[in-house]
Amino acid sequence: MPLIKHHYPIPLVNKLKALLSFQLTKEAPPPTPIVYVDKHLCKLSNNSMKARNMGLIPLLLMILFTVYLNVDDLCGSWQAREETIQRRVDSDIQKHGENYFLSPEVRPIDKQSYDLLDEEGELTLKSYLYARHSNKHTAYGSYFYKKDISFLVFYVITIPLLLFFI
């Protein structure tokens, strides 16, 4: 006779005959994990399904919403930066002439803005991210870099895990 009783859950497969032979009256509700019992079927409630529906799915939706907000912020600021640089370059060309950016008298800040644009006069994603994360173009370059990297790592870790457990 063992001295220690095992308190771990007993698999229901071992108790299948006893569970199926148990008959409930129509007035008495079944015990909590059992939803329905008859001669051929024993239906149990699934608490992991409740946890999934009440916790994991809303958490995944909230994280996906923050992804949307961050991407929308990035695209909006990229478009605004492109329009601002194009407007500044156009006004400098109107004030100083077509060859202003090739002359040695160009201001360094104007030259930096002009160098960010490509041949068609558009701001590429690569040059925008360089301007966003460098301290030459903005005072908060290192802050944006740390923020973007930390959010990227957070999303890369949590979204696959949540999709796996859902």
Asked if residues 44 and 12 have their Cβ atoms less than 8 Å apart, the reply is yes
The helix-helix angle for 108-116 and 125-133 (nearest 10°) equals 140
Question: Do 31 and 58 reside in the same domain of the chain?
Answer: no
Residues 91 and 31 in one domain: no
96 and 154 inside one domain: yes
* DSSP string of 36-104, one letter each residue: EE-SS-EEE--HHHHHIIIIIHHHHHHHHHHHHHHHHHHHHHHHHHHHHHHHHHHHHHHHH-TTGGGST
56 in Cβ contact with 46 (< 8 Å): no
**Phi, psi (5° rounding) for residue 37?**
-140, 130
119 and 139 share a domain? Answer: yes
For residue 27, the model assigns a pLDDT of 73
**pLDDT number for residue 1:** 47
Per-residue pLDDT of the chain (166 residues; tens, 9 = 90+): 455 555 555 666 677 677 667 666 667 776 677 777 777 777 777 777 777 788 889 999 999 999 999 999 999 999 999 999 999 999 999 999 888 888 888 998 889 999 999 999 999 999 999 999 998 878 889 999 999 999 999 999 999 999 988 8
Domain co-membership, 21 together with 32: yes
Length of the chain as a residue count = 166
Where on the phi/psi map is residue 129: left (φ > 0), alpha (ψ -120 to 50), or beta? alpha
Q: Residue 136's domain spans which residues? A: 48-165
Number of domains present in the structure of the chain: 2
Same domain, 40 and 68: no
Model pTM above 0.85: no
